[in-house]
Amino acid sequence: MLELRDVSRRVSGVDHLSGISIRLERGALNVLLGPTRAGKTSLIRLMAGLDRPSAGSVLFDGQDVTGRPVSKRNVAMVYQQFVNYPGWTVRENIASPLKVRGTAPAEIEREVKRAADLLRLRELLDRRPAELSGGQQQRVAIARALVKKAGLILLDEPLANLDYKLREDLRAELPRLFADSAAVVVYATTEPAEALLLDGVTVAMHEGKVVQAGPTQSLYREPQDLATARIFSDPPINTIPAAAAANPARFAGATTLAVRAHHIRLQPRSASPDVYVTQVESIEINGSESFVRLDVRGQHWVMLARGIHAFAPGTSLTVYVEPEDVMQFDAAGQAIRPRREAA
């Protein structure tokens, strides 16, 4: 188990991380989710021991490892760039952490084979990284991290540099790959969809702080505050001041209402939805879905509608929002849990 206690890091007067306290368990995929510059990489470097926290402590399995140099920590890391030793073959690359440790050649051979099978690199063992595609290079890097049998495996946006199709393939395999490693696995990403697919535990980060941590599904469904809701929405979550809502009486006590793009509908679902008359600003079609940008009483919303629609910009469009899809936040941005029975 990896535990951070009130960890912060200041670099030349700028807070990169402040007051972070989290516990990450073995066996679960721990996702750090947040936009660029949220502090994900800084936090990962701290966890690895590449940087020292300015305050607070890092504990691994109950042992204080703050300030212990990275080379003594048994950490494995996979980067956004595909980092492999350029002069070595795939086989030598995968074997490198074991060689450093002085593992017996027969066991190295066995471990390399096992990792190569797991990552479908069997045919490529004698090639050099430069002869591989980006996806294959990243597989080699992941294989290297796996054979190291590190207590902590850190993946810093490992799929960001891959093209779309390769990303999907590798993403689907990741939970399986790390399922039976006994390590604490930490995976940083900017994409909410990635966090949802990997499931496990999500730590939502914003401006160097942890805004919420917990099981991924509950973070997605019931964000504690507006910041988490924003981080965990792609396309961006739609907001409107409660006073400007179609039916303000329903949301008494709330300051801001938020609703996800796919919860804005062209047809009502219940007998009493909130009805908004909007202006179409623009529309983007990706083949099976349409992203419709709407002007709703001065707010800019995005509606995700199934199928292809041809709404001309400037025309007016009536959309429906079901009250149970609406998230409510108070003036401080904290979530107000609706009591369904009472509504």
Residues that bind another protein (CB under 8 A): 45, 48, 50, 70-72, 75-77, 79-83, 85-88, 96-97, 100, 127-135, 137, 161, 163
Scan for tokens 């989290």, then name that residue.
22
Q: How far is the CB of 78 from another protein (least distance, A)?
A: 9
In this structure, are residues 255 and 331 in contact, taking their beta carbons and an 8 Å threshold? yes
Interatomic CA distance for residues 120 and 124, integer angstroms: 9
Neighbours of 335 (CB within 10 A): 19
Q: How far is the CB of 279 from another protein (least distance, A)?
A: 39
Q: How far is the CB of 244 from another protein (least distance, A)?
A: 43
Q: Where are the alpha helices (DSSP H) in the chain?
A: 40-48, 90-101, 105-118, 134-147, 164-179, 192-198, 216-221, 226-231
Cβ closer to another protein: 50 or 336? 50
In this structure, are residues 166 and 198 in contact, taking their beta carbons and an 8 Å threshold? no
Rounded to 5°, angle at Cα 187 from 186 and 190: 145
CA end-to-end span of the chain: 42
- DSSP letter (8 states) at residue 236: P
Strands 316-321 and 274-285: antiparallel
Q: How far is the CB of 106 from another protein (least distance, A)?
A: 22
Cβ closer to another protein: 73 or 309? 73
Cβ closer to another protein: 88 or 291? 88
Nearest to 281 by CA among 273, 289, 291: 291
Cβ closer to another protein: 72 or 337? 72
In this structure, are residues 90 and 169 in contact, taking their beta carbons and an 8 Å threshold? no
Cβ closer to another protein: 167 or 206? 167
Strands 201-206 and 209-215: antiparallel
Q: How far is the CB of 67 from another protein (least distance, A)?
A: 15
Q: How far is the CB of 50 from another protein (least distance, A)?
A: 6
HSE, side-chain direction, 13 A CA sphere, residue 60: 20
Cβ closer to another protein: 158 or 273? 158
Q: How far is the CB of 125 from another protein (least distance, A)?
A: 14
Q: How far is the CB of 53 from another protein (least distance, A)?
A: 17
Interatomic CA distance for residues 195 and 221, integer angstroms: 13
In this structure, are residues 240 and 50 in contact, taking their beta carbons and an 8 Å threshold? no
Cβ closer to another protein: 163 or 284? 163
Is the four-CA dihedral 246, 251, 255, 256 of positive or negative sign?
negative
Cβ closer to another protein: 166 or 336? 166
Q: How far is the CB of 342 from another protein (least distance, A)?
A: 53
Cβ closer to another protein: 57 or 80? 80
